[in-house]
Structure 1
Amino acid sequence: MITSDKLASLYPRAPKDRLDSFAKDGPAVLKQAGILDTPNRLQFFLAQLGHESSGLTVVEENLNYSARRLMEVFPRRFPTAEAAATCAGNPQAFGCQVYGGRLGNAKPPSLDGYLFRGRGYIQLTGRANYTIVGEKAGIKDLPAHPERAATPANALALAAAFWTLKDINETADADDFLDCTRRVNGGLIGMAERRAWLDKVRRVLADPPATQPDAATVLAVQKRLVKLGYTEVGAPDGDVGRHTTSAIARFRRQNGLPEGLIDQALLTALGLS
């Protein structure tokens, strides 16, 4: 079951109003969507929300890019500095150019591309999605007031409605986190981070809660992972954070270990038992 304490442990940087709303509305909203029916469904849902919203800290897509960043992230759309100049530092122009004329948005000079930018815990994008998912979530007139998709209660309701419309419960029942990610993201962007979130969710929701090994053990694991080329760990610090969790998840997959964190199987595989 989701409790306020577990939500705070899972999303420690989330604003209080979002955590309070999630704790209050979550049980009913998620039950209606069937997400509470099995542990896997809830775990997949919370993990995907964690990644998509950066731990419930981001509920609106940031469209403010420098010209250099536009060329790095969107090289096909902005192959040169000249091509990027019109949208650099201009969220409205960028949104209209990238999202205009698709996802149910009208083409520029309509502002649809900007008005229906990504919002909510699963970054709902495009007039068509705002309309369809909004209706499923029971949020009246969402296309007329797209900014409402970012409120705590609506962000959760829309995420659950999106989850239902995409039939993601069935992928959770099949234990297929890859397909779950495709249905949420449209691709497999950020898979390592999403798996790290899933590992964290499973630890936080464990009953009794999973405990972190002592700092000396964590430090030894981090150093060995870095030595083996798992540099996403960063600087070893003795704390199991998101980057260390991601590195452990990748090591376990590549070495045929079941999902988990720091356990005897991992220590043995790393030669630390």
Structure 2
Amino acid sequence: MATLASRIDASVLQSLAPKVSGKKAASQAVVIAGFGAMLPKMLRYIDVTTPLRISHFLAQTAHESDGFSTSEEYASGAAYEGRADLGNTEAGDGKRFKGRGPIQLTGRSNYRQFTAWMRSIQPDCPDFERRPELVAQWPWAGWAAAFYWTTRNINKLADNDNLVAVTKVINGGRNGLDDRSRYLSKAKGIIMPLAALDVPVDDEYPTLRRGSQGEWVDRLQIALTATGFYMLSIDGDFAGGTEGAVKLFQRSRGLRVDGIAGPKTFAALSAYLPETEN
């Protein structure tokens, strides 16, 4: 779904994060511009290309960066001093390798690993263990988030829509879970309609998913209701209720249960589909 990734830019970040005022405003503008400019290419590189993966990635980076207001941890980093699990074995490492980037890359070991990973993409990139302050600057800040996400295999957790598991990998627990959940819900509301613009259409049936709207959604809702198992409002809006009904129908017919009404799902519903309007 490269087309969807190409639509994820600064305007999406602006829609997701509340606009701040005062001293944070200038910083937020810099973060949104820098991060937004690199997202289309970067998301494709780390295979964050489905609606769920993109939504989880944006929700986590929004929370960790205080609504895209900073690319550097507000705290001094002194709390990480002596953390051998982070590779902080030298005096001053806590502050030197404080959290930076939209996922707050932290600790000497992570900075060293990020350098090696980044050099597989861009051999002449800086040595971030020697110059850790650069991880707060663009494009390195964004690539640091990409490094952390892909090396921890977070896509698999996002595919399961498991916010708790994603949060645990990124933050080590459930810290800020309510805020992350709010961002995730908002991100889905932004991303799903964008994804719906990319649905393929074959000669007979379209492919519809959450966010789709229009006459074909009307027909889908009518057909699901006509089976006698689902009570749906016929409103032409493919939202949560319609997605749930599609999943139940797919399970009952031995189809892939993904909540997406594609040609196979429509074919199974064909006896219940109303005629198109002329």
Same fold (TM over 0.5): yes
2:118 to 122, 137, 140: 137
AA matched with 1:146: P
Select which of 6, 25, 28 maps to 2:41: 28
Cα distance 1:3–1:111, how it changes in 2: closer, same or farther (>3 A)? closer
Instruction: Report the CA distance shift for 1:144/1:152 in structure 2 as closer, same or farther (over 3 A).
Output: same
Q: CA deviation at 1:192?
A: 0.9
Letter in 2 for 1:118: G
1:197: how far off? 0.6
**Alpha-carbon distance between aligned partners in 2 of 1:23 and 1:191, rounded to the nearest angstrom:** 24
* Cα shift at 1:112: 1.1
Contact residue 134 and residue 158 of structure 1 kept, 8 A: no
Please name the residue that 1:200 is paired with: 186
Match of 2:71 in 1: 59
Instruction: Report what 1:5 is aligned to.
Output: 11
2:22 matched to 1:18? Answer: no
Question: Offset of 1:20 from its aligned partner?
Answer: 2.2
CA contact (8 A) 1:17 1:152 kept: no
| TM-score scaled by length of structure 2 | 0.59
- Identify the residue that residue 135 of structure 2 maps to in structure 1: 149
Give the superposition deviation at 1:137.
2.9
Please say if residues 130 and 142 of structure 1, whose CA atoms lie closer than 8 Å, have aligned partners that are also in contact: yes
Q: Check conservation: 1:99, 1:114, Cα contact below 8 A.
A: yes
- Between the aligned partners of 2:108 and 2:10, the Cα distance in structure 1 is 33
Cα distance in 2 between the residues matched to 1:147 and 1:169? 28
CA contact (8 A) 1:122 1:184 kept: yes
Percent identical among aligned pairs is: 34
Q: CA deviation at 1:7?
A: 2.0
Matched residues in 1 for 2:94 and 2:11: separation? 38
Is 1:100 the counterpart of 2:82 in the alignment? yes
Q: CA deviation at 1:208?
A: 6.6
Task: Report SS of the residue matched to 1:26.
Answer: helix
**CA deviation vs aligned residue, 1:212-251 (integer Å, no higher than 9, x gap):** xxxxxxxxxxxxxxxxxxxxxxxxxxxxxxxxxxxxxxxx
Q: What are the equivalent positions in structure 2 for 1:167-186 lying under 5 Å apart?
A: 167-186=153-172
1:168 and 1:8 map into 2 onto residues whose CA distance is 24
Pairing partner for 1:123 from 85, 97, 104: 104
Residue type at the aligned position of 2:55: Q
Distance in 2 (alpha carbons) for counterparts of 1:58 and 1:22: 11
Cα pair distance change 1:120/1:4, threshold 3 Å? closer
The letter of the residue matching 1:105 is N
**What secondary structure is seen at the aligned counterpart in 2 of 1:62?**
coil
Aligned AA (1:40): L
**Contact persistence 1:41–1:173 (CA under 8 A):** yes
CA distance in 1, matches of 2:194, 2:54: 17
Query: Cα distance, 1:127 vs. partner?
Result: 0.2
Q: What secondary structure sits across from 2:139 in the alignment?
A: helix
**Any idea what the Cα deviations from partners look like across 1:42-82, whole Å, max 9, x if unmatched?**
0000000011111111222223xxxxxxxxxxxxxxxxxxx
Structure 2: gaps spanning 5 or more residues: 1-6, 21-26, 120-124, 196-238, 241-278
Instruction: Give the 3 Å change call, closer, same or farther, for CA 148–207 of structure 1 in structure 2.
Output: same
- Following superposition, the deviation at residue 153 of structure 1 comes to 1.4
Name the amino acid aligned to 1:57: S
Q: 1:106 corresponds to which letter in structure 2?
A: T
Shift of 1:114: 1.2
Offset of 1:10 from its aligned partner?
Answer: 1.4
Contact 1:99–1:126 (8 Å) recurs in 2: no
